[in-house]
Amino acid sequence: MRAFFGSAVESRYKTEEELRAITANYCIALIPVIAAGCYAFGFNAFKVLLASVVSCVASEHIYQKLMKLPVTVMDGTSLLTGLLLGLCLPSEVPLYIPILGGMFATIVVVQLFGGYGFHIINPALVSRCFLLISFHGAMTDYTIDGMSTATPLTIIRNGGTPDLQQMIIFNEQAGCIGEASVLALIIGALFLLAARKISVITPVIFLTVFTAVIVLFSGDNLSMNYVLAHIFGGGVIFAAFFFATDRVTSPVGPWGKVVYGVLLGAITGIYRIVGTKTESVSYAVIFCNLLVPLIDKYFAPKALPEKEEA
């Protein structure tokens, strides 16, 4: 796979220590998100997250053993993938779904491309889309304590406006585990920014362009509550800071990050307006991941020529 894709799968990590440090910081940043999700959706959310993590870690270990490759589970990357995938799932899905999703993300999306640092699309989001296609009913059945509830985006699609305060602080009605609290996501994002493990460029451009598209094309629905409901719902904040900033699947230079953010915001916003709304972020990130080699070709910083010794 690596030979087929060439420079498109060149590792973005300079050293194993750098990989471990970035992975550890992402895991720490997800702690408030995990806590909010488990508190909102109960023990089922914890089981889904645990199944996803165990599946990713075990799949990596078994695959590398069978292929006689160095075992790299201690770098934490499969743990991070498992957490991100689990947070993208509803809390009530059967446990075989996160288990299959973890296997798909780890083996098909990562290991077949040469391992972490060489994959070209985000494994957690691709796996989520794979699960949505394969188990659409279970993946879209938001049932809490035996009662079917509507997600914020479903409320928007039906012409209503969800409770913004609940979405920001603590949403226990419906949705994916990682969408329980926008405040928890922001706390995690601020940690990553303070630790200088992500750049603010792509998230800010992404959210700005997305907001502009919603405002320009919302028609008679335009209101502050409507716009904020789109920003705080459907995983936009989650994607902007935890998926769009993935070093492997995003551009390397500042201008590339700007272009990437514009594309993400525009595609997500347009899909929200004219599409089904629910999967706009996932599809936008995956599509833009595939454009990263092209973006880097034209916008990556040029290396300075070495000076010849006298």
Q: What is the mean pLDDT of the chain?
A: 85
Residue 75, in any domain of the structure: yes
Residues 177, 167: contact at Cβ < 8 Å?
no
Split at pLDDT 50, 70, 90, the class of 24 is: very high
> For residues 91 and 48, is the Cβ–Cβ distance under 8 A?
yes
Confidence band for 16, pLDDT divided at 50, 70 and 90: confident
Q: Residue 106: its pLDDT value, please?
A: 96
Beta-bridged to residue 148, according to DSSP, are 143
Instruction: Report pTM.
Output: 0.86
179 pLDDT band (50/70/90 cuts)? confident
Distance of CA 255 to the CA centre of its chain: 22
Percent of the chain whose predicted confidence (pLDDT) is above 90: 56
Whether 127 and 85 have beta carbons less than 8 Å apart is answered as yes
Q: Residue 9 is part of a domain; what is its CATH number?
A: 1.10.3430
Domain annotation covers residue 310: no
pLDDT at 152: 64
Residue 275: inside a domain:
yes
308 within domain boundaries: no
In which domain, by residue range, is 142 found?
A: 2-298
Q: What would the pLDDT profile of 110-139 be if each residue is shown by its tens digit?
A: 999 888 888 889 999 999 999 999 998 888
Is 303 part of any domain?
no
User: In this structure, are residues 174 and 150 in contact, taking their beta carbons and an 8 Å threshold?
Assistant: yes
Domain count, the chain: 1
pLDDT digits (tens, 9 = 90+) for 183-234: 999 999 999 999 999 999 999 999 999 999 999 987 767 778 888 888 887 6
